[in-house]
Amino acid sequence: MPFFARFERENWKTMSNTEGLEAAADAIGKAGDLALACHVGPDGDALGSMLGLGIAAQNAGKTVRASFGSPFVMPPNLGFLPSDLLVPPGDFPAAPDLMVVLDAGSPDRLGELAANASKAATVVVLDHHITNEGFGTISVVDATAAATGELVFDLLGLLDWPITPDVANCLHTALVTDTGRFLYSNTTQRTLQIAAVLVGAGASPTQIGSHVYERSPFGYLKVAAAALSRAELDVDARFVSTIVTQADLTAAGIDWGDIDNLIDTLRLAEEADVATLAKVQADGRVRVSMRSRGDTDVGSLAAAMGGGGHRLASGFTAEGDAAVVIRQIREAIEEYR
């Protein structure tokens, strides 16, 4: 038997924490209709995991509808992923028999679809956020997984559902984005082995890398220039931060999804352990993205502020002045240390 097939079909049991995974596979395998949801403002792991599972389920003869909470806009850098299964939140089943929630650390991360989850007969949760305290009827949370895509990979092995090229591309996108192109410390031998299986099944690293990391509208350069010109470095706190506003985006003719990679530019400052990007929305709310080089657990900081995420990458939404929010983060970092 070829290595890829042997690894995919036999060795999944040796990999991640599989508690609850068999129950999840049993529930999904028996269902005729699947309602899939991921967190609002989906990233590559959320969308890749959801669409990868959805395509595999559809190939297995299931009826599948997938969605995420408002704003219901496909991130531009993920537009290459197959999206035929996606439906607006308003067309999502109001009370699904089986709802699968992917990459959401808490019900509120589902936006308006949290109401649908509360009315579902069975809710299966697949997640890898350490801040997830467990919700749903069947909860599979593995903080050792680099991405929720790893759990979907395991699930497909249990279900014995083939990994087609489209499924492989979706799951590889999940791994690539949540590991920062396999550069973050959450990248394990297992992560790279799964990535190898997915490439062998038809995933295209070139296509994924090009769309996710190497394409932006010209307006992105204008917004990046404005945001970086405002960047401030607190050497003592090892903290770099900046603010970007809706007015910046409007002037450049782009949307929020077009600046997803801006936080990665900000975090290049070698003097800083924590980088923070405060995004002031049209309604005045401040959406915050944080990254850490490793000395600070920004996942815990975000959780304390009503958000969540990982040790090295997290976020939350706040009310009030963006400068005040940034000051609060800096003070929290000083207390943390």
The mean per-residue pLDDT over the stretch 69-89 comes to 95
Model pTM? 0.88
Does the structural domain 219-336 have CATH classification 3.40.50.720?
no
Q: What pLDDT digit, counting tens, does each position of 172-194 carry? A: 999 999 999 999 889 999 999 99
CA atoms within 13 A on the CB side of 332: 19
Angle at 149 between CA 116 and CA 255, to 5 degrees: 70
Contact 227, 241 (CB under 8 A): no
Contact 264, 229 (CB under 8 A): no
246 has a pLDDT exceeding 60:
yes
Q: In what order do the strands lie in the sheet with 239-245?
A: 232-234, 239-245, 274-280, 286-292, 313-318, 308-309
CATH class of the domain at 3-212: alpha beta
Q: Tokens for 326?
A: 């940034």
Q: What pLDDT digit, counting tens, does each position of 195-238 carry? A: 999 999 999 999 999 999 999 999 999 999 999 999 999 999 99
> How is the chain split into domains, by residue range?
3-212, 219-336
7 has a pLDDT exceeding 80:
no
28 has a pLDDT exceeding 90:
yes
DSSP letter at 86?
A: B
Q: Tokens for 219?
A: 């307006």
Q: CB-based contacts of 336: which residues, under 8 Å, 6+ apart?
A: 296, 297, 300, 301
Contact 299, 178 (CB under 8 A): no
Asked if domains 3-212 and 219-336 share a fold, the reply is no
